[in-house]
Amino acid sequence: MKDGILSDEKIKLENKKYEKNLRMIRFLDEKSDEVVSFVTNNFKLSAKTIVQIYKTRWQIEIFFRWIKQNLQIKTFLGTSKNAVMSQVWIAMIYYLLLTYIKYQSKYEKSLFYLHRIIKEALLSRLTLIDLLSATPARISDFKIKEFQLVFW
Query: pLDDT, tens digit, for every residue of 23-69?
Result: 999 999 888 889 989 899 999 999 999 999 988 888 888 877 877 77
The domain locations on the chain are 5-70, 81-145
Cα–Cα dist 127/104, whole Å: 15
B/e letters for 133-145, b = 16+ CB within 10 Å, e = fewer, are: eeeeeeeeebeee
Q: Is the pLDDT of residue 10 over 90?
A: yes
Residue type, 51: V
pTM of the model: 0.49
The reported pLDDT for the residue numbered 76 is: 76
What are 103-146's pLDDT values in tens digits?
A: 988 888 888 888 888 887 777 777 777 777 766 666 556 554 55
The reported pLDDT for the residue numbered 35 is: 92
